[in-house]
Amino acid sequence: MPNYTRMELMICSAARWLEDGAMVVVGTGAPCAAAMLAQKTTAPNLTLLFEAGGVGPLLPRMPISVGDSRTFYRGLMATSMADIMETCQRGMVDYTFLGGAQIDQFGNLNSTQIGSDYQHPKVRLPGSGGANDLGSLCWKILVLTPHDRRRFVERCDFVTTPGYLTGPGAREAAGLPPGTGPYKVITDLAVLGFDDATKRMQVESLHPGITLQEVRDRTGFELLVREPLESTPAPEPATLEILRNEVDPLRYIIGRG
């Protein structure tokens, strides 16, 4: 039996994609844990940005919101949401973590509504916040999400944040910066990316003990598969120790196993 939970595996996997010296916009929860973990392990010069204005903090503990005072602790700057978005507009931000209730094969995200009738949806969700701005202007979108058919849908009921929209060239045709878009989707089953030619989602690595059929069964559209299909590395014991004792010692995100 593995000595880690699926959430711990997701966080450790996400942290590996954040290279030293990069800039990343994070919210609270698992994305923040992944960024903190990267900063404490392989990316000590990773710069964290928070939507409420914290730039480059050295987080002492897990913040409870993007406006938590800890998001400014020993930071490079205490500024505003407008300045954070302007930094993205200038092309200075490498990564942003985003999520939603639905994601489709082109990486479009929905955090607005369930149901196609905007005036009378089945469920009204929180909406965009800064997600559309971040997803439109940061270079690479990272998504951390559970993997099930309700989330991985053929077509989003509403596109809150653009992925590759309808496929190759669609982002650019909509006026979004060339070279930007979805990068990795890290779930409790696998790491998924996007095919360069078609911009469709593809399975790139399976988590230990997970089969490709399990991933397909919990996806509402046909997934591509990158060859050779890899296995997601299990978290190193030292990395788990840092995650549990320094990043999230109160188990807000990773739980108690």
pLDDT tens figures, 62-114: 998 999 999 999 999 999 999 999 999 999 999 999 999 999 999 999 999 99
pLDDT of amino acid 255 = 87
Tell me the chain's radius of gyration from C-alpha atoms: 18
pLDDT of amino acid 52 = 94
Residue 257 has pLDDT above 70, yes or no: no
What ranges do the domains of the chain cover? Answer: 1-93+234-257, 96-232
Mean per-residue pLDDT, 149-154: 98
Find out if CATH 3.30.465.10 is the number for domain 1-93+234-257.
no
Burial 14-23 (b: 16+ CB within 10 A, else e): bbbbbeeebb
pLDDT of amino acid 174 = 97
Total-model pTM: 0.95
Find out if CATH 3.40.1080.10 is the number for domain 96-232.
yes
Domains 1-93+234-257 and 96-232 share a fold: yes
- Tell me what the pLDDT averaged over the chain comes to: 96
Residue 172 has pLDDT above 70, yes or no: yes
Q: Which two tokens stand for residue 2?
A: 């593995």
pLDDT of amino acid 184 = 98
Residue 1 has pLDDT above 70, yes or no: no
Residue 129 has pLDDT above 60, yes or no: yes
- C-alpha span between 142 and 153 (Å, rounded): 18
Residue 163 has pLDDT above 80, yes or no: yes
Residues with a catalytic annotation lie at 51
Q: How many CB atoms lie within 10 A of CB 90?
A: 9
**156-159, long-range: CB within 8 Å, 24+ apart, which pairs?**
156/102, 156/103, 156/104, 156/108, 156/109, 156/110, 157/102, 157/110, 157/113, 157/114, 157/115, 157/116, 157/121, 158/110, 158/112, 158/113, 158/116, 158/118, 159/108, 159/109, 159/110
pLDDT of amino acid 2 = 82
Mean per-residue pLDDT, 194-222: 98
Query: Percent of the chain, pLDDT > 70?
Result: 99
65-74, 149-158, 200-209: range with lowest mean pLDDT:
65-74
Query: Percent of the chain, pLDDT > 90?
Result: 94
Torsion angle, CA of 151/154/158/160, rounded to 10 degrees? 70
Mean per-residue pLDDT, 11-20: 98
The answer to whether 37 touches 11, Cβ cutoff 8 Å, is yes
